[in-house]
Chain A
Amino acid sequence: MRQIWDFHGGVHPPENKSQSTSRPIRKATLPRTLILPLSQHIGQPAKALVAPGQKVLKGEVVAAAEGPVSVAVHASSSGTVTAVERRPVPHPSGLSDICIVIETDGEDAWTHLTPCEDYRSLSPEQLLERVRQGGIAGMGGAGFPTAIKLHPPRNDKVNALILNAAECEPYITADDMLMRERADEVIRGMEIMAQLLEPEECLIGIEDNKPAAIAALKQAASGTHIEVVVIPTKYPSGGEKQLIKILTGLEVPHGKIPADIGVMCQNAGTAAAVYRAVRFGEPLISRITTVTGDGVATPGNFEVLLGSPMSDLLQQAGFDASKTDRLIMGGPMMGFTLTDPNLPLVKTSNCIMAVSAKEFPRPDPAQACIRCGLCAEACPAELLPQQLYWFAKAQEFDKAENYNLFDCIECGACSYVCPSSIPLVQYYRYAKNQIRVTAQEQQKSDKARERFEFRQARLEREKEEKEAKRKARAEAAAKAQAEKVAQQQDAPAEVDPKKAAIEAAIKRAQAKRAPAPAQAQAQAQVNIAELQTNVDKAREKLEKVRETLAESDGANAAMQEKLSNAIAKNEERLAAAEKALHDAQNSAQGTPAASNATPATQADPEQQARAIARTRDKIKTLTQAIEACRETDPQRAAQLTETVEKTKAKLAELEAESAPTDKAIDKPPEPNLEELTSQVEKARDKLSMMQGMLDDARAEQPADEAKIAKLQRAVEKNQDRLAAAQKTLEEARTQASGAGVKAASPEEIEALTSALEKAQDKLAMMQNMLSEAQQESPMDEAKVAKLSRAVEKNQDRVAAARATLNEARGDAAENQTSTDGAGA
C-alpha cells in the first residue's frame, strides 16, 4: 500500500453522483448548428481560417493556434460555415466572443485522418506535434493547452506524472463514466504522456467513491507501470495542489507551478483525448459531459460534439425549464451559472446542471461573521478566510494580500461551511480583482507620468531651440539691414547689376499690383481690425479665467494656483496682442507714409489712449482684488500685486509710446510677422495649458461639471483664438510675400516646415492617444469622440500648415524665377 498524505481542511458535501451514473454514456444527437468559440482554452484565442459559405469536413481545422499559448479549433461535424461572429459563450462574465458557426449537413463526413498504429515508436517531437494538431486543452475545467503543458523546459524533470481522476466535485461523473467505459483509452493516453515525459512514477489519483472506475482502471493498468492510488473522498482533493499533496506529500511553492517540483497533473479526460489524437489522428471534437440536476428527467453522461448548443443536450436528458432555477456549467462548488441555455458546449464543459430551487435553495441573507473559525478549518490552502473577509470588506486590500489572498483557489469550502451564509468567495474575487485593477492603474499612471515628463522636456528643449533660432534670425536681419544701409550710404553708384535687376524686378512686381499703396493700406486696415479682435478676444478670455478663479475661490488650492498662473499668462498674452496691434498700427502708419498720410494715423492715438485707460482700469480692479483677498489668501494677494506691478510697467510703457507715435515709422514689416508668430505660439501654449487644466479638472473633480464645462468652453474659445491668430499670421505672411518685400525667406520656409512637422507630431500623438483610448476604454464614448474630433482638427491644422508651406515655397520659387529671369 502506497503512503498517501492528507491536506488541510476540506469539506464533505453530499455527493449526488448516483443520479448520473445509472445510465451508460449516451451519444448526443447531431445538432443542426454548431457554435465553436475561438477561445475554449487559457491563452490567446485561435485565429479563424474559414469564411462564411465555406464547406468544412468533420475534424477539419477551422481556427489555428495563434501565438505561443493557444489551441486550434476543429469542425465537430461536416457542414457549411454560416458566420464568424460574436456569440454569447459560456463564461462567468456572460460576455460574448468570436465564434465560428457551422450549419451541419447531417452527413457527419470525416476529413482525412492519419492514424498511427505504431505510435510507441514515435519520437517525443512527433508525439507532441500530434497532440498539438489535436487541439487538446485540459479538460478538467481550466483548459490549459495540453501540448504546451506536456513540453516543460528541459531542466524541469518530471518525476511524478499524476492523472487527476479524483473528480471531487459533487454531481459530476464525466470522468467516472469515461473511466468505467473507456479505461483503456485513459491508460493508453497516460502511457503516451509517460513516453513523452519519462517520469519515475505514474500515479492515478482517484477518490474511493468510484469503485467501478477504480476496478476498470486497475484492470486496464495491469502490466503497466501505472499505479492507481485510491484516496479518501474529500472536497477538493481534485484540486491540483491538493492532489499533489495527497499523492506525493509535496506542496507546490507559492508562485510556482507543479513542474517546478517535478510533478505534472493531467486530467483523465485529457489523457483519453491525447490517446485518440495520437493513435487515430482524431482531433478534440467531442467530450463526455454530465447532464444532471432535478431539472432533467434522465440525468446521465453524453458524448457530445463540441459546439453543440446546451439546450440540445438538455433536451435529450429531458430538460424541464419550469423546474429549473439555476443552470450551472461545472460543478456546484466551482461552476458558474448560465443565463441562456443556448450557449455552446466547449472543451472545458464537464458538467451541465439544471437544478431546482428545492435542490439548491437560494442563498440566505448573510448574517454577521462571528469568527467561529469553521472557514479556517475548511480551507485547503490553510488561509484565514474570516480575516480575509474582514479585510476585503474594509477594503484593506494590502492586508488581504499579506494574508496570502492570492493563494486562495476559490474552491468554495469556506462559503460552504460558513454558518452565517456569508458569500466569502465573492469577497475574495472582489478583493483580487481590485488589487489587479489597482496594479494595472499604477502601471498606467507610471507610464503616463513618464510620457508627460518626456513631453515636458521636449517642449522645453524645443522652446529653447526656437528662441535661439529666433535670436539668430533677428541678428542676421539686423546685420543685413545694417550692411544694406551701409552699402547704400557708401556706394549707391556701385550697385551691382544683379541687385539692380532684383530691384527692378521688385519694382516691376509692385507696379504690376497697380493700386499697391491703397491695397496695402486696406490690407493693413484689415490686419489691424483682426488684431483688434484678437486683443478683444484675449481680454474676454482673461476676464473669463478671472471669473473662474473668483468662482473657484477656496475650492482647491492647486486649482487656484493654476488659474492664477493662467491669468498671469493671459495678461502677458493680452499685452503681447495689444503690442502687436500697436505695432501693426504703427506699421500701417508707416506703410502709407510713403504715399502720404492716411486716416489711420489719426485713429492711432485714440486707440492708444483707450488702451491706457483700459490698463488703468485693470490696475484699479486688480488693486481692489488684492484688497479683497489680502486677508483670506496672502499668497494670491502677492501674486496679484506682482501682476499690478507688471501692468503698471506696461502702462508706463504705453504712455511713453503714445507720446512719440512716429518713432516706429520706418520699422520693417518683419517684426510684425515675428510678433504675430510669437503670438500664435503663445496662444498655442495657452491652449495646451487650458487643455491640461481641463484634463486635470476632469480627473480631479469629475463631479464638478460646471467647472469642466467652463474650462471646455475656454479651451474651445482658445482654439478659435488660435485659429484666428494663425489666420492673421498667414495673411500677414501672404501680404508680406505679396508685397514682395521679403517674400518667403528660407528661414520662414524653415519655420513653416518645422511648424508643419510639429503639427504632424501632434497629430500623430493625438492619433496615438485616440487609438489607446479606443483600446483601453471603448466604453468611454465621450472621450473617444472628443479625441477623434481633436484628431480631425489636427489633421485640418496639418493640412493648413502644409498649404501655407507650399504657398510660401511657391512664392519663394516664383521670387527665385523672377530674380533669375531678371538676372538673365
Chain B
Amino acid sequence: MAFLHITSPHLKGPARTTAIMQWVILATVPGLLTMTWFFGWGTLINVILASLTAVAAEAFVLTLRKRPLAFYLQDYSAVLTGVLLGLALPPYAPWWVTFVGTAFAIIFAKQIYGGLGNNPFNPAMVGYALLLVSFPVAMTTNWATPRPLAEIPGLVDAFAHIFWGAEIGVDGYTMATPLDTYKHEIVAGTSEAVFAMPVFGAHTALGWEWVNLAFLAGGLLLIWRKIITWHIPVSMLSAMALCSLLLGWDEDKYAPLQLHLLAGATMLGAFFIATDPVSAATSKLGKLYYGAGVGILVYLIRTWGNYPDAVAFAVLLMNFAAPFLDYYTQPRTYGHRKARRGVKQD
C-alpha cells in the first residue's frame, strides 16, 4: 500500500479562482439588467458577443501555445473580460467593434504576456482604449437614448443594427451621455438650465443613476463575498469626490459631484474594473494609493480631457504604477520594526 507523499498543508480552503471569476460575472448582472432595461437589448447582445469572442480568442491562442484548453478555459477569466468590455461599450456599437476590441484584449493584452496572472494591464480596458482611439465615432455615437425618452429598439432591430448597420426607425435613438452633454452645455449655460435637459431626467442622469447604483450593489456583493476588498473602490470614489469638491465646486463650470458618481462608468470602474487583482496593486496601502490615483485621473480626464469618460485611461495609467506602489507599500512583517520600502537591500 503506497500512501500519498506530499508536503503540508494537507487542507485546502473553499476558495477557487473559477468561483471568484463566476462571482464577479454574477455581480455584474444587476448592472447588466438595468442597462438593458434603460437602453435596450444592445448591451446584452454586446456582452454575449464579447464573451464568445473572448473565449474563442483565448482558445485560439491556447491552441497555438499548445496548452490544454479545458483547464485554462474553465477559469472563466476570458468570459469575465468579455463581459466587462461588453458592459463598457456603447449599446449599439457595430459587431466588429466588439469583436476587434475583445480579440485584442485577449490576444494582445492577456495571452501575449503569458495568460491569466501575467498581464500588466487590465485586458478589457486595453481593448476599450484601443477602440476609443481607433474608432472614436463608433465609440461615441452609439449610445442609446434611455427609456422613457425614447422607445427602445426591439430585439430584432437591435440585432439588425449591430450586425448589419440597419437603421432603426426611431427618432434620435442615439445621443451623447449625460457627462458629455453636461460638459458641452455648461459652457453656455447654468447648472439649472443644463439639468433641465431631458437627458438628465428627474435625478441626476436619466437611467445612468440606476445603472450605477446597480453596479454599486453588485460591488457590495463582491465585498461581502470577500472577493474584493473595500480599499480600491472606496479610495477611488473618495478621491473623485474630493477632487469634485475642491476643484469643481462651481456647478456652473464643472460637472457636479453627483453627476461624477452616478453617471458614466464610475461604479463599474470602481468595483469591477479597477479592482482587477492581476493588474492592480496588491498591498492594502498600495490599493488605497492605486484607487486614489484612478479616481483623480478619472476626474482630471473627464473635466479637462477630450474624452467623455475616463475610466479606461485612468485604470491603464495606474496599472503602470501598480508594481511601483507595491514596492513602496509593503506591510510591516511580524517582528520587524518598520516596513520595507522599495526593492533595495538593507
Interface positions of A (Cβ within 8 A of B): 7-8, 11, 13-14, 92, 94, 170, 241, 245, 251-256, 321-322, 324-328, 330, 332-339, 341, 355, 360-365, 367-374, 376-377, 380-384, 386-387, 398-399, 402-404, 407, 410-413, 415-421, 423, 425-426, 429
Contact = CB atoms under 8 A, between A and B. Distances in A.
A321 B118 CA distance: 43
A426 B8 CA distance: 8
A402 B115 CA distance: 27
A325 B15 contact: no
20 contacts: A253-B336, A254-B335, A325-B4, A339-B3, A363-B6, A364-B12, A368-B17, A368-B75, A368-B116, A369-B117, A371-B280, A371-B282, A376-B331, A382-B332, A384-B283, A384-B331, A404-B336, A415-B12, A418-B13, A425-B9
A419 B20 contact: yes
A336 B7 contact: yes
Nearest to A295: B3
A10 to B, nearest CB: 12
Interface in B298-346: 326, 330-337, 340, 343-346
B7 A426 contact: yes
A419 B17 contact: yes
A425 B71 CA distance: 23
A384 B2 CA distance: 36
A325 B4 CA distance: 6
B3 A327 contact: yes
Given A338-B3, A369-B117, A13 B335 contact: no
Interface string B244-270: 000000000000000000000000000
Given A254-B336, A372-B20, A416 B12 contact: yes
B229 A332 contact: no
Contacts of A377: 229
Given A94-B5, A376-B283, A402-B343, A170 B11 contact: yes
B1 interface: yes
Given A326-B3, A368-B118, A370-B117, A363 B12 contact: yes
Contacts of A364: 12
B125 to A, nearest CB: 16
A737 B20 CA distance: 95
Q: Which of B13, B229, B326 is most buried by chain A, counting CB atoms within 10 A of its CB?
A: B13
Interface residues of B, number: 47
Given A367-B75, A368-B115, A382-B333, A335 B20 contact: no
Given A373-B277, A376-B283, 16 more contacts: A254-B333, A324-B1, A330-B8, A332-B11, A337-B6, A367-B17, A367-B116, A370-B77, A370-B116, A370-B277, A373-B282, A376-B331, A382-B331, A382-B332, A413-B9, A417-B15
Contacts of B65: none
A421 B333 contact: no
Interface string B39-63: 0000000000000000000000000
A383 B13 contact: no
Contacts, number: 173
Contacts of B66: none
A365 B4 contact: no
B283 A326 contact: no
Contacts of A321: 1
A328 B9 CA distance: 11
A324 B69 CA distance: 33
Nearest to A362: B4
Given A370-B117, A373-B277, A384-B282, A337 B3 contact: yes
A689 B333 CA distance: 52
A380 B334 contact: yes
A373 B7 contact: no
B278 interface: yes
A336 B8 contact: yes
Nearest to A327: B3
Given A327-B3, A419-B15, A360 B336 contact: no
Contacts of B75: 367-368
B15 A425 contact: no
Contact of A403 (B3, B277, B330): B330
Contacts of B15: 374, 417-419
Contact of A371 (B12, B278, B344): B278
Contact of B12 (A255, A325, A373, A421): A421
Given A368-B75, A376-B283, A399-B343, A333 B8 contact: yes
B10 A326 contact: yes
A322 B5 CA distance: 16
Interface string B62-78: 00000000010001010
B315 to A, nearest CB: 15
Contact of A11 (B8, B13, B116): B13
- Chain A interface, DSSP helix/strand/loop, else mixed: loop
A425 B340 CA distance: 22
B26 interface: no
A417 B15 CA distance: 6
A363 to B, nearest CB: 7
Contacts of A338: 3
B340 A403 contact: yes
Among all A-B residue pairs, the 6 with the closest Cβ atoms: A412-B9, A368-B117, A419-B15, A254-B335, A368-B116, A419-B17
A666 B327 CA distance: 85
A767 B7 CA distance: 40
B187 interface: no
B202 interface: no
A420 B7 contact: no
A386 B277 CA distance: 12
Contacts of B283: 373, 376, 384
B193 to A, nearest CB: 47
Contacts of A253: 335-337
Contacts of A415: 9, 12
A254 B335 CA distance: 5
B155 interface: no
B19 interface: yes
A386 B8 CA distance: 18
Given A325-B3, A368-B117, A251 B277 contact: no
B330 A334 contact: no
A363 B4 CA distance: 11
B344 to A, nearest CB: 8
A330 B75 CA distance: 34
A678 B269 CA distance: 86
Given A369-B117, A382-B331, A333 B10 contact: yes
Contacts of B13: 11, 13, 416-418
Q: Which of B9, B282, B334, B340 is most buried by chain A, counting CB atoms within 10 A of its CB?
A: B9
B225 to A, nearest CB: 12
B5 A339 contact: yes
A360 B343 CA distance: 39
B233 to A, nearest CB: 15
A653 B92 CA distance: 100
B334 A251 contact: yes
A335 B10 contact: yes
Q: Which of B4, B71, B330, B331 is most buried by chain A, counting CB atoms within 10 A of its CB?
A: B4
A351 to B, nearest CB: 12
Contacts of A402: 340, 343-346
Given A361-B12, A372-B20, A381 B116 contact: no
A283 B309 CA distance: 77
A675 B330 CA distance: 72
A373 B229 contact: yes
Q: Which of A363, A368, A387 is most buried by chain B, counting CB atoms within 10 A of its CB?
A: A368
A387 B286 CA distance: 14
Contacts of B18: 367
Nearest to B229: A373
B2 A339 contact: yes
Nearest to B326: A387
B27 to A, nearest CB: 15
Contact of B4 (A256, A326, A369, A425): A326
A381 B10 contact: no
A370 B278 contact: yes
